[in-house]
Amino acid sequence: MNKFIKITSGFVVQEFKKNPAGQFVCTGQAFIAGDQVDYEDENGNSISPPPDHLYQQFKMVL
């Protein structure tokens, strides 16, 4: 196997602040990972967690 897909269930938390025009705009967000993680091969078939993969943080960008 040369490639796999990791699917992590969780929640997105967003913070909003009122701007000078009176509109609420998103000023920050974070992904809260849940316990449910699934792995798939290149064809979408379920696989066991690959043993030799590096942790990749969840980086939310505005």
| ∠ CA 31-41-11, rounded to 5° | 15
Interval 51-62: pLDDT, tens: 989 988 888 887
pLDDT score at 59: 83
Interval 28-57: pLDDT, tens: 999 999 999 999 999 999 999 999 899 888
Question: Could you give the CA distance from residue 10 to residue 16 in angstroms, rounded to a whole number?
Answer: 20
1: nearest Cα among 48, 36, 38: 48
**DSSP one-letter code for 17:** E
Amino acid symbol at 11:
F
Interval 4-28: pLDDT, tens: 999 999 999 999 999 999 999 999 9
Amino acid symbol at 40:
E
Write down the domain spans for the chain.
Answer: 5-40
